[in-house]
Structure 1
């Protein structure tokens, strides 16, 4: 197979699961001999949230303080300006990982600047705004080839669009996410003043899709048995507006008498640097990830690789790629069941079993294998580049 030049488009330079996926995928593709360049709009000018072992492009973007529709429109236009010339489009393959990049590439195709594009659908949101909903559909409908990270969303694409999508999965870097503690673990404990615990970790910020309110309700019950328990809410960088749900969560915390702050029952870290994530997983006694909707749940693999017992929703996609021994499965609508799972994850025998099975499950998912599963779609699009573009 000849080496390919691949432009990978993601929506942000911030530490979100989809962005982490793009960077790791590009690194694996480069290790296979291809040139994969990750692009993202970068209004801060600070670059990606971590250094990458491969080329990246921070696309010039203007800060937007307005509605979500205005923000998404601005980011699509940022991409259109960046790829406005044939020289900027000198790639064999274009690969969008979200609706922003997908809409930009669909427009560029109509302008005859690109022959087509691959689109990975990580998950599909439910938008009440018809403009956002149409952009989301267009970025799927006009793609040349579709990929998904789980069978759940491939089935959804088949049922809603009548198109077959390939399944590429996810990966985890076992050289980064390891069980062995480092000096960073103690430094992180001190930075956030984490006590003896137990420490429950939630990744994704205060977001309805992540079921943060359910985690808070379960954690309040756990505190009745473990008064020293702390809940760490990490992440939260998002293009979408979650302010109303965040207010609901803060009200629930206040009603439960749970204060938020460094060294307090609930610690909100905000976005966490990539270099700190392995330590954060290791200092946590359990990862609570009972999401309502996920593309795959990349942080579950990362936590398992670090030896952290994990709680997930008894729903796809978790039920696709995890066995019952790998994690504790719960009904995301039942805080009592989630609280019992938190307690179960702390018992030595159950904990040891989850750690052993979780590490084995993480080891079965490599970024190299994930990258290799992309190559058929890439080659199909690369061949299309040699054919006349049809409007």
Structure 2
């Protein structure tokens, strides 16, 4: 197979950067405008939108090759086209594959090649020519290096996700007793639904609103005959409890408003396999000033322990119910953790994250061209 060539031609407009996202597509066809619509979008896609348009604002010449572009065109200075139009022999200054290594089988032509990591199981092979990997946290870095011996820690650079603070600038009136769940249901929703009758027994006005796509997740797991499938069946049969409202996937403007109206985010994170490398949901609720109660699974102690109330695994229902009720009843405690979240969230603004990307790219690109 012919290997990609090094580009010697300077870009006409800033740094010429390609983002490949041909392996994404779980959420179907979309264009960046979906962020303001009534549809859900995953964290990987959200990050790709914010990083690409942020770099374009800094003068980069950015093209995104996505698997299912609804309406190809230029959005916020970024050219969005179908992944089918990607030509590995067209040279770029920087090539970023967004959460998938298979494209490196075709030896994309670029000075600097980066595998951006959102998930935990990159299929990196010895023959892949990848300069840098960008996991979301130190825990995430350790996980992927442990999983794949072809990924060396010295070639990893921590690149966090971010939050759009503008979505949380206008505060909403809180709804007393309102609790939200905004993560994949397989990461611990069964725990919250199991303890829900005990919460309602002590706080009758408590309500739980669940925001996430469920049926597609359920259909993909229900006959697996394992622990994860068992949990999904439990969720399926316990969504109709008193006080529980399943809202499904919603657009990010709607989600931000709901997060600001809520009194708590409760996240007894306990995934079937270690897989929580960042958690944008927690960051969003911190930006909303909404206190969060979380487990100490995966990356959560590393990133969020200074601003969230954290309880240890394994999940102890007595401990969780007592803590949830305390937060619903104790205004002083609630305000303390609300302030903690509002203080931490701005350190993860998308503006800061994009500047981090910019500094990283310019430094590593200069090293490659030297």
Q: With the length of structure 1 as denominator, give the TM-score of the two structures.
A: 0.72
Distance 1:211 1:157, change over 3 A: same
| Conserved? CA contact 1:202–1:231, under 8 Å | yes
Within the candidate set 242, 259, 266, 1:281 is matched to 259
Give the aligned partner of residue 163 of structure 1: 153
Query: How much does 1:180 deviate?
Result: 1.2
Give the aligned partner of residue 7 of structure 1: 18
| Conserved? CA contact 2:93–2:110, under 8 Å | no
Q: With the length of structure 2 as denominator, give the TM-score of the two structures.
A: 0.76
Distance 1:266 1:9, change over 3 A: farther
Within the candidate set 302, 305, 327, 1:345 is matched to 327
1:306 aligns with 2:288: yes
Aligned residues: 328
Q: Secondary structure at the match of 1:270?
A: coil
Give the aligned partner of residue 348 of structure 2: 365
Task: Tell me, in whole angstroms, the C-alpha distance in 1 between the residues paired with 2:198 and 2:112.
Answer: 52
Task: Tell me, in whole angstroms, the C-alpha distance in 2 between the residues paired with 1:35 and 1:230.
Answer: 47
Q: Secondary structure at the match of 1:18?
A: helix
1:28 aligns with 2:54: yes
Return 5+ residue gaps in structure 1 as ranges: 60-78, 126-134, 186-195
Distance 1:107 1:383, change over 3 A: farther
Distance 1:330 1:298, change over 3 A: same
Superposed CA RMSD? 3.5
Query: How much does 1:173 deviate?
Result: 2.1
Q: How does 1:56-95 map to 2 (within 5 A)?
A: 56-59=79-82, 79=83, 81-84=84-87, 86=89, 89=90, 91-95=92-96
| Conserved? CA contact 2:88–2:106, under 8 Å | no
Query: How much does 1:348 deviate?
Result: 0.7
Give the aligned partner of residue 201 of structure 1: 180
Task: Tell me, in whole angstroms, the C-alpha distance in 2 between the residues paired with 1:85 and 1:140.
Answer: 16
Query: How much does 1:318 deviate?
Result: 2.0
Deviations 1:322-352 (A, max 9, x none): 344x111022431333322322221211110
Distance 1:349 1:380, change over 3 A: closer
Task: Tell me, in whole angstroms, the C-alpha distance in 2 between the residues paired with 1:233 and 1:287.
Answer: 10
Distance 1:46 1:336, change over 3 A: farther
Task: Tell me, in whole angstroms, the C-alpha distance in 2 between the residues paired with 1:52 and 1:354.
Answer: 37
Task: Tell me, in whole angstroms, the C-alpha distance in 1 between the residues paired with 2:210 and 2:127.
Answer: 32
Query: How much does 1:287 deviate?
Result: 1.0
Give the aligned partner of residue 66 of structure 1: none
Distance 1:251 1:289, change over 3 A: closer
Query: How much does 1:384 deviate?
Result: 8.7
1:328 aligns with 2:305: no
